[in-house]
C-alpha cells in the first residue's frame, strides 16, 4: 500500500460543525492517512455515494467536487493516502446479502475511480454482517488490486471478543486488511485482555489492555492502531492528552511507560494512531498531530 511502518490517521469532516472547516489540501502534513468522513447510503441497499457537503462548501466560500478531487491528488503528491470512510455515528449502510455486497463493492469502486481514493474505511457503528461485508471487500480488492487500503474503526464493544461481528470480519479478511483503528473513547469502562478487570477510559491502562485483546487474538501488530479523540469537543468521553497516546504506544511497542497493566509481550510493529479528527485537532492547536506523529517515528 506504500504506507510507512507506523502511521498517523486522521478523519476529515465533509460537513460543517463547531470544529474548524478545512479544505482537504489544508490537512496538516503530520497525517499519513486522511479518512474522508463520510460516504453515505443511497436508496439501493449496500450502495454508497459521496459529494462535497453543501454546508461545508458554503462555509469555505465555495468548495466543489472538482476542488476536492484536485486536493486528493495534491495530498497524494505529498506522499499521503486518502481513503473514503463509510458509515459514521449516523450512517445507515447495510451489507446483509450478496446483492448488497455487490452494490457496495461497485459503488465504492466508482468513488475510487472518480475521486482517486486509495482505499476504504469501515466505520459502521450500527452493526454489520461479517460474511457479506467480507465478500464486498474481497470483491473491491479484486477490482483495485493490492494497493487498496482497507481500514476499520470499530467501537470498543465491537472488539471485545473474536466472536463479535466486527472482530470476525477483521480476522476473516486478515490477509487483505491494512489496519483496525479501534475508537478508545465514548465507551465507559471495558474489559482488557486479562479479563479480570474493567479499565476506565481515558487512561494508558484502558488503551493498552483493550489493544492487547486484538494483538493476542489474531491480528498482527501492524494491523492494530489506537484511535483517540483530538481534544475538547471531539468526543463525549475518553479524551486524553497526546502524551498518553505516546505512552500507550511505548508500552505496546517497548514495554515502557506502562500503567499498572502490562501486556504479556511487546509488539514493536504496532501500526500507529488515529484521531477523530483532523478538524478538531486543528481547532485545538494541532497538539495531537504535532505530539504523536514525531513519536511514531521513534518506534522500533
Split at pLDDT 50, 70, 90, the class of 87 is confident
Q: What is the mean pLDDT of residues 257-272?
A: 97
Split at pLDDT 50, 70, 90, the class of 105 is very high
Is 270 inside a domain boundary?
A: yes
Q: What is the mean pLDDT of residues 84-92?
A: 80
Q: What is the mean pLDDT of residues 82-107?
A: 91
**pLDDT tens per residue across span 63-83:** 999 999 999 999 999 999 999
Q: In Å, how far from its chain's centre is CA 131?
A: 21
pLDDT of residue 1: 81
Task: State how far the alpha carbon of 225 is from the alpha carbons of 6, 70, 270, in Å.
Answer: 9, 29, 7
pLDDT of 237 strictly over 80:
yes
Could you give the CA distance from residue 17 to residue 160 in angstroms, rounded to a whole number? 31
Q: What SS3 state is found at 224? A: strand
Q: What is the mean pLDDT of residues 28-43?
A: 96
Residue 125 is among the residues annotated as catalytic for this protein: yes
pLDDT of residue 172: 98
Q: What is the mean pLDDT of residues 206-221?
A: 98
pLDDT of residue 91: 65
Q: Which of 137, 135, 175, 179 is closest to 159 using CA atoms?
A: 179
Split at pLDDT 50, 70, 90, the class of 175 is very high
pLDDT of 292 strictly over 70:
yes
pLDDT of 92 strictly over 90:
no
Give the domain extent around 151. 7-297
Q: Which helix (H) or strand (E) holds 165?
A: helix 165-172
Mean pLDDT, the chain, integer: 96
Is 14 inside a domain boundary?
A: yes
Is 200 inside a domain boundary?
A: yes
Could you give the CA distance from residue 286 to residue 242 in angstroms, rounded to a whole number? 10
Number of residues written out for the chain? 300
**pLDDT tens per residue across span 238-250:** 999 999 999 999 9
Could you give the CA distance from residue 112 to residue 102 in angstroms, rounded to a whole number? 15
pLDDT of residue 23: 98
Could you give the CA distance from residue 151 to residue 112 in angstroms, rounded to a whole number? 15
- CATH code for the domain of 234: 3.20.20.80
pLDDT of residue 86: 96
Q: What SS3 state is found at 278? A: helix
**pLDDT tens per residue across span 46-65:** 999 999 999 999 999 999 99
**Active-site entry in 21, 30, 40, 125:** 125
Domain count, the chain: 1
Q: pTM of the entire structure?
A: 0.97
Split at pLDDT 50, 70, 90, the class of 89 is low
Is 1 inside a domain boundary?
A: no
Amino acid at each position: 500500500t506504500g504506507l510507512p511502518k507506523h502511521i498517523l490517521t486522521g478523519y476529515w469532516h465533509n460537513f460543517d460543525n463547531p470544529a474548524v472547516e478545512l479544505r482537504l489540501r489544508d490537512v496538516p502534513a503530520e497525517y499519513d492517512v486522511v479518512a474522508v468522513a463520510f460516504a453515505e447510503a443511497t436508496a439501493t441497499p449496500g450502495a454508497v455515494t459521496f459529494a462535497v457537503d453543501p454546508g461545508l462548501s458554503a462555509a469555505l466560500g465555495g468548495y466543489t467536487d472538482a476542488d476536492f478531487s484536485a486536493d486528493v491528488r495534491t495530498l497524494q503528491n505529498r506522499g499521503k493516502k486518502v481513503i473514503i470512510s463509510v458509515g459514521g455515528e449516523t450512517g445507515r449502510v447495510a451489507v446483509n446479502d450478496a446483492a448488497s455486497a455487490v452494490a457496495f463493492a461497485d459503488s465504492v469502486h466508482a468513488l475510487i475511480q472518480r475521486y482517486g481514493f486509495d482505499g476504504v474505511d469501515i466505520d459502521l457503528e450500527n452493526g454489520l454482517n461479517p460474511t457479506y461485508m467480507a465478500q464486498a471487500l474481497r470483491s473491491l480488492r479484486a477490482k483495485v488490486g493490492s494497493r487498496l487500503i482497507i481500514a476499520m474503526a470499530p467501537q470498543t464493544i465491537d472488539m471485545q471478543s473474536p466472536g463479535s461481528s466486527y472482530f470476525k470480519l477483521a480476522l476473516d479478511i486478515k490477509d487483505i486488511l491494512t489496519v483496525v483503528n479501534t475508537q478508545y473513547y465514548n465507551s465507559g469502562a471495558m474489559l482488557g485482555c486479562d479479563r479480570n478487570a474493567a479499565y476506565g477510559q481515558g487512561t494508558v491502562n484502558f488503551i493498552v489492555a483493550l489493544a492487547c485483546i486484538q494483538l493476542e487474538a489474531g491480528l498482527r501488530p501492524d494491523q492494530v492502531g489506537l484511535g483517540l479523540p483530538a481534544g475538547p469537543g471531539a468526543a463525549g468521553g475518553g479524551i486524553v492528552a497526546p502524551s498518553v497516546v505516546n505512552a500507550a504506544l511505548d508500552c505496546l511497542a517497548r514495554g515502557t511507560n506502562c500503567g499498572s497493566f502490562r501486556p504479556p509481550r511487546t509488539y514493536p510493529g504496532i501500526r500507529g494512531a488515529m484521531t477523530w479528527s483532523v478538524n478538531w485537532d486543528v481547532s485545538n492547536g494541532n497538539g495531537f498531530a504535532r505530539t504523536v506523529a514525531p513519536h511514531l517515528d521513534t518506534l522500533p
